[in-house]
Amino acid sequence: MTVEPLAEPAATTRVLFVCWGNICRSPTAEAVMRRVVDDAGLGAVVEIDSAGTSGEHAGDPPDRRAIAEADRRGLDLRHLRARRVRPDDWQRFDLLLVADDMVERALLRDVPDDGARAKVHRMTAFGPDAHIADVPDPYYGGSDGFERAYELLERACHGLVEHIRARHG
């Protein structure tokens, strides 16, 4: 998949990470991206959030195993709460980064127009693992799945920050 550059530099790049329930992959990506953005000194030009295509966990904290893996890596997910993607997210965000094919299909069912469709990419699209289309859902597995997801997301976030840095100069 070829990733097109964002149209033109804006004051802020707004990124929404999207997985199925917003309790494993997308809140982890949100927290990792916040740290990578802060470490890169780009906090003033990047807005980050996460959501799910399903509302079944709305209001819930992240999965306890995602919290444990984040704790091991020095991140705290406890303040995050799951939410479903809202119609206004299509206008608010520049990039909607999906975890896998199922999430992408669900998200695109509600795409308002072809222009908005161009905002949708895989979470891994900007990093060294762009050849890996999916961040596997660790929900039904053990802690090793959360470790693998974290590692993929960390590399992806570093690549995304480099993409954003190039955009903002």
Does 101 participate in catalysis according to the annotation? no
Round to whole Å and give the CA distance between 49 and 17.
6
- Catalytic site includes residue 25: yes
Catalytic residue among 25, 65, 83, 155: 25
C-alpha–C-alpha distance, residues 54 and 102, integer Å: 11
Q: Which of 53, 44, 50, 96 is nearest to 70 (CA)?
A: 50
Which member of 122, 129, 137, 157 is catalytic? 137
The active-site residue, picked from 19, 24, 63, 122, is 19
Which residues, 6+ apart, have CB-to-CB distance to 76 below 8 Å? 31, 67, 70
Would you give the distance in Å from CA 148 to the centre of its chain?
15
To the query of whether residue 24 is one of the catalytic residues in this protein, the response is: no
Alpha-carbon gap, residue 62 to 109, rounded angstroms: 25
The neighbour count for residue 138, using CB atoms within 10 Å, is 22
Token digits of residue 99: 């975890």
Q: For the chain, what is the total number of helices (H) and then of strands (E)?
A: 6, 4
Q: Which residues are catalytic?
A: 19, 25, 137
